[in-house]
Amino acid sequence: MAVRKFNPTTPGQRHKIIGTFDTITASAPEKSLVVGKKSTGGRNNAGKMTMRYLGGGHKRKFRVIDFKREKDGIPATVKTIEYDPNRSARIALLFYADGEKRYILAPNGLEVGQVLLSGAEAAPEVGNSLPLQNIPLGTVIHNIELRPGQGAALVRSAGTFAQLTSREGKYAIIKLPSGETRMILCTCKATIGAVGNSDHALEQSGKAGRTRWFGRRPHNRGVVMNPVDHPMGGGEGRQSGGHPRSRKGLLAKGYKTRAPKKASSRYIIERKKK
* 213 part of a folded domain: no
H or E element in which residue 211 lies: helix 208-213
pLDDT of the chain, 274 residues: tens digit per residue: 689 999 999 999 999 999 989 999 999 999 999 999 999 999 999 999 999 999 999 999 999 999 999 999 999 999 999 999 999 999 999 999 999 999 999 999 999 999 999 999 999 999 999 999 999 999 999 999 999 999 999 999 999 999 999 999 999 999 999 999 999 999 999 999 999 999 999 999 999 999 999 999 999 999 899 999 999 999 888 887 678 999 999 998 888 888 999 999 999 999 887 6
* 190 part of a folded domain: yes
* 10 part of a folded domain: no
What pLDDT sits at residue 237? Answer: 84
Cα distances (angstroms) measured from residue 46 to each of 27, 111, 172, 221: 38, 47, 46, 27
Q: Are residues 172 and 229 in the same domain?
A: no
What pLDDT sits at residue 2? Answer: 85
Overall domain count for the chain: 2
For residues 103 and 92, the answer to whether their CB atoms sit within 8 Å is yes
Q: Are residues 159 and 252 in the same domain?
A: no
* 37 part of a folded domain: yes
> Alpha carbon 69 to chain centroid distance?
17
For residues 126 and 110, the answer to whether their CB atoms sit within 8 Å is yes
What pLDDT sits at residue 252? Answer: 87
Q: What is the value of pTM for the model shown?
A: 0.91
Containing structural domain, residue 158: 24-201
Q: Are residues 153 and 230 in the same domain?
A: no
Q: Are residues 171 and 254 in the same domain?
A: no
Q: Are residues 190 and 240 in the same domain?
A: no
* 5 part of a folded domain: no
* 137 part of a folded domain: yes
Q: How many CB atoms lie within 10 A of CB 1?
A: 17
* 55 part of a folded domain: yes
Exposure class string for 205-218: b at 16+ Cβ within 10 A, else e = bbbeeeebeebbee
Q: Are residues 161 and 66 in the same domain?
A: yes
Q: Are residues 230 and 197 in the same domain?
A: no
Q: Are residues 153 and 233 in the same domain?
A: no
CA dihedral for 63, 67, 70, 76, sign (positive or negative): positive
What pLDDT sits at residue 258? Answer: 86
Q: Are residues 193 and 89 in the same domain?
A: yes
Q: Are residues 129 and 252 in the same domain?
A: no
By C-alpha distance, which of 37, 143, 145 is closest to 92?
Answer: 143
Q: Are residues 61 and 147 in the same domain?
A: yes
Encoded amino acid at 26, one letter: A
H or E element in which residue 115 lies: strand 115-116
β-strands 171-175, 152-154 pairing: unpaired
The CATH number of the domain holding residue 31 is 2.40.50.140
* 12 part of a folded domain: no
Q: Are residues 241 and 136 in the same domain?
A: no
